[in-house]
Amino acid sequence: MQRGSDSLGVLPLGTPSLRKRAEDVDSRGESLSGDAARLLTTLDNFRATFGFGRAISGPQIGIDLRMIAVRMAGWPSIVINPVITWQSADSVTLWDDCMCFPDLLVLVRRSASISLSFTSLDDVVHQRARLNIAEAELFQHEVDHLNGILAIDRAEGRNALISRSAFVEDVSHFHKKVDYIGSN
């Protein structure tokens, strides 16, 4: 039985607004705090239900703003107006998962490292240079969401889409098909 992420407020694959470029955040009003709280709550509830998810972008829950909720040590809980300022020439393949289609994994190619500029909720500008691969692949995924690009748009090669149940049944087989095995 599939568990619908849309019951948690995450828009499912096929929702037209997921294809739209999100608007820059240009104010720090009360509505931004409310949107940030809603994004974090959705991330926490999704992770409790599905067991994966380190970040979620505003468009994934219908917030048309360039913001990402993050649950990773050393990162602010909300990343605003992120910009990838550098990408490594080296790339890796990996099985990407997404909250918009939690029962599917997609074989994608991502840069092995990126540098990221963003603002936190306290209006501090941050520069993170040469992120490790786990952070780099995550933020590439989330910035894609902010630009209306989904992981399925980056599907790499034949048989690039698999069900999570097939993946779980033969994890070692699918791990052999990629360069990088990510973390949740």
Instruction: Return the active site residues.
Output: 142
Distance CA 60, CA 66 (A): 11
Distance CA 115, CA 84 (A): 6
CB 140 within 8 A of CB 114: yes
Distance CA 174, CA 67 (A): 32
State both tokens at 109: 């190619």
